[in-house]
């Protein structure tokens, strides 16, 4: 796969959690799921930023993303995300009211989440091809996620402070840890079918699709 750093990150997660997978296909499938959640979470923060006519994702936006994901997907285990403020103004669609300003095609209840298509012309790119090529992982367990966050920010031509990026990383990690915990509880060799079955069991994992 071209997204080697994410593949290495997934292998590290599996090793740390003593989770055995059937084959390389299963590991690659889990990698695609991790790639999906990175894209989906950063995209929600990006939508908020575009709506507010800004080029930098504010740290206050992470609190809004957190609340939005809680309402749409539920709260995963391990979740301890902080953030404050109300400086970012969301459109009424985020509360279920049509304001005719935003096309809410990023419905997290669908199996194909966050097909973003709003007035500014931002569209979801193909996920399967990976992010940046020829990158390697380092010893940090969060490095793969951070590289993925940076790639998506580059795609949207947005900026964020290191603190804001770390908030995004921690938020994503909460969902990933929850998934790993569920797979570990199965106490079985993990296959692609088991991953699918686990993700379908609760809407918390819709972000991985």
Cα radius of gyration rounded to whole Å, the chain: 17
How many residues are there in the chain?
209
How far is residue 184 from each of residues 13, 22, 175, 181, measured CA to CA in Å? 11, 14, 14, 5
Give the model's pLDDT for residue 110. Answer: 39
Q: Which of 19-23, 57-61, 113-117, 165-169 has the lowest mean pLDDT?
A: 113-117
Look at 5 and 207; give whichever has higher pLDDT: 207
Helix (H, G, I), strand (E, B) or coil at 159: strand
CB-based contacts of 112, cutoff 8 Å, min separation 6:
209
Give the model's pLDDT for residue 171. Answer: 92
Render pLDDT for 8-59 as a digit per residue (tens, 0 to 9): 899 999 999 999 999 999 999 999 999 999 999 999 999 999 999 999 999 8
Q: Residue 106 pLDDT more than 70?
A: no
Q: Which domain holds residue 105?
A: 4-208
CATH of the domain at 167: 1.10.20
At 75, is the pLDDT very low, low, confident or very high (cuts 50, 70, 90)? low
Give the count of domains, the chain: 1
How far is residue 136 from each of residues 3, 8, 139, 146, measured CA to CA in Å? 9, 8, 10, 13
Nearest to 76, CA basis, from 166, 10, 171, 144: 171
Helix (H, G, I), strand (E, B) or coil at 160: strand
- Mean pLDDT, to the nearest integer, of 152-175? 94
> E strands within the chain?
56-57, 159-160
pTM to 2 decimal places:
0.69
């Amino acid at each position: 796969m071209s997204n080697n750093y994410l593949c290495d990150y997934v292998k590290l997660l599996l090793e740390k959690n003593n989770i055995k997978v059937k084959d390389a296909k299963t590991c690659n499938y889990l990698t695609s799921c991790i790639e999906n959640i990175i894209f989906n979470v950063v995209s929600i923060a990006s939508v908020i930023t575009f709506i507010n006519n800004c080029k930098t994702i504010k740290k206050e936006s992470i609190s809004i993303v957190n609340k939005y994901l809680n309402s749409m997907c539920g709260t995963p285990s391990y979740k301890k995300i902080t953030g404050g403020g109300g400086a970012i103004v969301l459109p009424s669609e985020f509360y279920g009211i049509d304001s005719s300003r935003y096309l809410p095609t990023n419905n997290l209840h669908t199996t194909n989440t966050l097909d973003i298509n709003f007035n500014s012309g931002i569209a979801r790119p193909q996920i399967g091809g990976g992010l940046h090529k020829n990158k390697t992982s380092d010893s940090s367990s969060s490095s793969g996620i951070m590289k993925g966050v940076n790639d998506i920010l580059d795609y949207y031509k947005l900026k964020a402070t290191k603190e804001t990026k770390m908030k995004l990383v921690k938020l994503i990690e909460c969902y990933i840890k929850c998934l790993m915990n569920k797979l570990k509880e199965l106490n079985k060799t993990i296959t692609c079918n088991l991953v699918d079955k686990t993700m379908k069991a609760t809407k918390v994992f819709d972000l991985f699709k």
